A and B are shown apart, each in its own frame.
Chain A
Amino acid sequence: MLSAPLLVGASFAYLLLLFAVAWYGDHRAQQGRSVIDNAWVYAASMAVYCTAWTYFGSVGRASTSGVWFLPIYLGPTLAMILAWMVVRKMIRIARSYRITSIADFVASRYGKSPTLAGLVTLITVVGIVPYIALQLKAIASGYAVMTTVPGEAVGSPSDWWRDSTLYVALALAGFTMVFGTRHLDTTERHEGMVAAIAFESVVKLIAFIAVGSFVCWSLFDGPADLFGRALDNPDLAPLLGLEQQGRPFAYEQWFALTVLSMLSVVFLPRQFQVMVVENVNERHLRRAVWVFPLYLLLINVFVLPIALGGLLHFGAGNMNAESFVLSLPLDRGWHALALFAFIGGLSAATGMVIVETIAVSTMVCNDLVMPLLLRTRRFGARAAGDLTGILLGIRRAAIVGVMLLGYIYFHVAGEAYALVSIGLISFAAVAQFAPAALGGMYWKGGTRGGALAGLSAGFALWAWTLMLPSIAKSGWMDAAFIAHGPWGIELLKPEQLFGLAGLDNLTHSLFWSLLANIGAYVGVSLWRTPSAAETSQALLFVDVFERTEGSRPVFWRGRAQVADLLPLVARFLGAARAQKLFEDYAAASGVAGVDEIKPDARLVQFVETQLAGAIGSASARVMVASVVEEEALDLDDVMRILDEASQLRAYSHALEEKSQSLERATAELRAANEQLKSLDRLKDDFMSSVTHELRTPLTSIRALSELMVDDPQMDSAQRQHFLGIVVAETERLSRLVNQVLDMAKIESGHAEWHTADVDLRALVLKAIETTHEVFRERGADVTLDAPSAVATLRADPDRLTQVLLNLLSNAAKFVPRGSGRIHVRMRSDDSGITVEVRDNGPGVPVAEHALVFEKFRQGGDGVNRPQGTGLGLPISRQIVEHFGGRMWLESDAGQGACFAFHLPWQIQEGRQAPDNPTANPVQGGQQGGAPQ
């Protein structure tokens, strides 16, 4: 045994640690660096599903029924498989409409019905209080096991003020108040609390696995040894099969437990809280859906070994199996491990209690107390005054109230029942929410009446067939009605309703309650068409994925004023928060300030949504309705608004497309304009260049002529020299004029082309001969490498000569004086003829390759700029391209330049078919036989 002060001290130290974790989580959240914005933390917080019932109860269950503890964890695994569809939709709905509890979820769906919200809350409180009691019971009995001298009876203290469980309950209530109701938030999120819960999940998992490992490898010689000894024991061997206690496998009960836990893992208030309300990011669900089942698997792996180990160690019936987790290490004197195991159990219990009370207190406050309070004159719609303090007060009172209810239940009734049975009663209660909630998410026909009828019927049957018998069995009331039926009516016997026998209590109750629930829900819903309010909410819920935040239809019509709405929000959220919310709204809708907000349907919806976060959608609806003038909508209005919204969506889609295509057109126009501008600039440059080129020779002609006119006595040699210059410059002028005209003609397509069969080799030879004198003058060497004959081309021989002369004289201008070398190379292949003119001049940097073919862009670095019009290469290129060929430059600075052009055989003159169709094969033949 351990001393009580040590145990109490350790427990409170652990609670302090929890406080620290929660404080850290809140602190980080305020800094905007959320610790719970993480899929692993999210998954761990889901493990609040595993309570003291798992931690202690599963072992107890396994020690009497073998694998029967498992369906409670297989169900959640099944639920998680579908969670990506179902839970994600719940998260999206809750986020969109600021839904903060399961009661609000159901009520909001069915026209924001306060009655429905109240009913769901009532069911929750009745169903959940025993479950909270269960946790307190676990802590209490764990404490007893830890502090009792072995051999002595485990007893509970007689005086309530000496009962540590009460103090545990009050401590937990304090903790929950601090982190659950510190401030009012319209999303009802508690980052610090979630961080603490995730931390607790890790602690309880590690503690349980530690005990499991201890049992397997310290108490026994490995799992094989443990199971082997269990199989040898005729009392224990059956626990490892399906058949229990000599009865055949009750597969309907197995199935019922699976379905029950599948629903519970979604609809238990604490699961809804951590999974839906506290979800930070929908995408976290993607990881959580498999990590959470993995967690369940891990925490269950050692349940059977611990149960069997305990039974083998202590002998069946000598020790409460539900406390094996503690008693096994204690018995072996492993006190530290026992303490750790106790802390693990404390984790499991406190985690559940904290989240559950927060969730339930929100529901009690928003859906039970507030609607009543707002009806009174003092707090009602017409009253003024800040209600935030009162709201928080109600929440805190609700937390303490729920906790105390749990304590009282534990104290009065808890002793009689095993942990597992209490838990299952709660599960069956929350399963009643499934038809209305799931139906509401996928079926637009469900109505408020249907939901009310279904929930009432289900709840009534649950109470009759499960809750009341359990109370009766714990001795609170006469159990005679169980055996004989009320007033002796056998048909109404709670555990064999209408004579249905052969099922266990739970399956029996689940069958009847869900049957009545679903039947009433569907039946009553189908009885009449949904009202406008129901239809509009149905559309918003079922089609939540089909619209984005901004494009959802707003089902509201009437008149409102900002001056009424702002104070309303301030009453429930505080003046500062309200002002901030309205300022953000103004900014989001693109107006300058709060005063300029348009009080339209969207604003009303915004206000209502914000209020819904604080006081629930039903109360928010009532409050908003009290300050605005509303017009009642009928079904046609709803359908019309929906149509308009869809049309609006279509319009905005079309508008978006249109604006995109306009943008494209604008971009194209801009590009075209740029091109025109640049063409204009080019033309301007061209004119400027031509002017320059014309004026330069004119300058010398005019000056020299005037000199000669002024001085008739000029000596004849001088005069002859001047006249020679005048003639040369005149020739230069003519050449320039010709080339400019030539260029213009080619460019405009008005050039004349005299196409004939051309022997390019002959043309090259002739061109070299023509330029012979020029090269000789510069001391340059010309070599030719050409096939001895090439096939003829269809082209204009004069033009090609012009090209060749151009390239040759170009080369001549750039080669170094005295040591120039020009190499002309000709090659023919299948596609056509290539001519290269390579020189050993300065070459052209790669960056300037494109420029040399532009008009008036002369090569050279300036110092050695040669004489020329700057039109030769552009004209040559135009000519080559006219005959379907191409001209290019291979060169780099310092490497010499190689101008080359390629003319294809199949000449498409001006993109026309060759005028001699038979030419091609003949050419091909000649080319093929051309000797080198």
Chain B
Amino acid sequence: MNTPIRSQRLIGLFAAALLLFNFPLLALWDRHALLFGLPLFPTALFLVWGALIALLALVIERTER
């Protein structure tokens, strides 16, 4: 298969996101702790989400050579 490298990266990112947003990796954040004074679990969820969006932007906006 000669899938373009960008498509391969996107598929990889999709797999990573699917794993990060589901059991059991998601459950790892579920503990009583504070991050910057905020509860760890929701904060971490949003941070992971934001990081994935940033990565997606990086992959998709980078011009393919």
* A/B touching: CB–CB < 8 A: yes
Q: Which residues of A contact B (CB under 8 A)?
A: 66-67, 70-71, 74, 77-78, 80-82, 84-85, 223-224, 227-228, 231, 240-243, 249, 251, 254-255, 258, 286-287, 289-290, 293-294, 297, 300-301, 304
Given A67-B42, A254-B22, also A77-B53 (CB < 8 A): yes
**Is B27 part of the contact surface with A, judged by Cβ < 8 Å?**
yes
B22:A255 contact, CB within 8 angstroms: yes
Give the interface centre of A71, A84, A290, A294 by most chain B CB atoms within 10 Å. Answer: A290
Q: How far is the CB of B12 from chain A (nearest CB, A)?
A: 10
Q: Can you list 8 contacts pairing A with B, beta carbon distance less than 8 Å?
A: A66-B42, A74-B21, A81-B17, A82-B10, A240-B39, A241-B41, A294-B53, A297-B50
Given contacts A78-B14, A82-B14, 14 further A-B contacts (CB under 8 A): A78-B21, A81-B10, A81-B17, A82-B10, A84-B6, A84-B7, A241-B30, A249-B23, A255-B23, A258-B22, A286-B60, A287-B60, A293-B52, A293-B53
A289:B60 contact, CB within 8 angstroms: yes
Q: How far is the CB of A521 from chain B (nearest CB, A)?
A: 23
A301's contact among B13, B37, B46, by CB below 8 Å, is which?
Answer: B46
Docked complex Cα distance between A623 and B57 (Å)? 45
A227:B39 contact, CB within 8 angstroms: yes
Considering the complex, which residues of chain B in the window 47-65 have a beta carbon less than 8 Å from any beta carbon of chain A?
A: 49-50, 52-54, 56-57, 60-61
Q: How far is the CB of A74 from chain B (nearest CB, A)?
A: 5
B23:A254 contact, CB within 8 angstroms: yes
B56:A293 contact, CB within 8 angstroms: yes
A85:B50 contact, CB within 8 angstroms: no
Docked complex Cα distance between A224 and B14 (Å)? 32
Instruction: Give the total of B residues in contact with A, Cβ under 8 Å.
Output: 32
Q: How far is the CB of B65 from chain A (nearest CB, A)?
A: 16
Docked complex Cα distance between A293 and B60 (Å)? 13
Q: Which residues of B contact A (CB under 8 A)?
A: 6-7, 10-11, 13-14, 17-18, 21-24, 26-27, 30, 36-39, 41-42, 45-46, 49-50, 52-54, 56-57, 60-61
Q: How far is the CB of A282 from chain B (nearest CB, A)?
A: 13
A227:B38 contact, CB within 8 angstroms: yes
Q: How far is the CB of B20 from chain A (nearest CB, A)?
A: 9
Residue in chain B with minimal CB distance to A287? B61
A290:B56 contact, CB within 8 angstroms: yes
A224:B38 contact, CB within 8 angstroms: yes
Residue in chain A with minimal CB distance to B48? A74
Docked complex Cα distance between A542 and B26 (Å)? 36
A240:B14 contact, CB within 8 angstroms: no
B37:A224 contact, CB within 8 angstroms: yes
Residues of B within 8 A of A66 (CB): 42
State the majority secondary structure of interface residues on A: helix
Residue in chain A with minimal CB distance to B58? A290
A67's contact among B17, B22, B38, B45, by CB below 8 Å, is which?
Answer: B45
State the majority secondary structure of interface residues on B: helix
Docked complex Cα distance between A297 and B53 (Å)? 9
Residues of A within 8 A of B45 (CB): 67, 70
Residues of B within 8 A of A255 (CB): 22-23
Residue in chain B with minimal CB distance to A259? B18
Residues of B within 8 A of A78 (CB): 14, 17-18, 21
A84:B60 contact, CB within 8 angstroms: yes
Residues of B within 8 A of A287 (CB): 60-61
Residue in chain A with minimal CB distance to B40? A240
A67:B60 contact, CB within 8 angstroms: no
Q: How far is the CB of A170 from chain B (nearest CB, A)?
A: 40
Residues of A within 8 A of B49 (CB): 74, 77, 293, 297
Give the interface centre of B7, B14, B41, B50 by most chain A CB atoms within 10 Å. Answer: B14
Docked complex Cα distance between A503 and B48 (Å)? 28
Residue in chain B with minimal CB distance to A240? B39
B22:A84 contact, CB within 8 angstroms: no
Residue in chain B with minimal CB distance to A300? B46
Residues of B within 8 A of A243 (CB): 30
Q: How far is the CB of B18 from chain A (nearest CB, A)?
A: 6
Docked complex Cα distance between A289 and B54 (Å)? 11
Q: How far is the CB of A297 from chain B (nearest CB, A)?
A: 6
Q: How far is the CB of B64 from chain A (nearest CB, A)?
A: 11
B11:A82 contact, CB within 8 angstroms: yes
Q: How far is the CB of A502 from chain B (nearest CB, A)?
A: 16
Residues of B within 8 A of A251 (CB): 22-24, 26-27
Residues of B within 8 A of A81 (CB): 10, 13-14, 17, 52, 56
Residues of B within 8 A of A82 (CB): 10-11, 14
Q: How far is the CB of B60 from chain A (nearest CB, A)?
A: 5
Residues of B within 8 A of A304 (CB): 42
Docked complex Cα distance between A70 and B22 (Å)? 12
Residue in chain B with minimal CB distance to A295? B53
Residue in chain B with minimal CB distance to A82? B14
Residue in chain B with minimal CB distance to A297? B49
Residues of A within 8 A of B37 (CB): 223-224, 227-228
A231:B50 contact, CB within 8 angstroms: no
Q: How far is the CB of B54 from chain A (nearest CB, A)?
A: 8
Residues of B within 8 A of A228 (CB): 37
Residues of A within 8 A of B11 (CB): 82
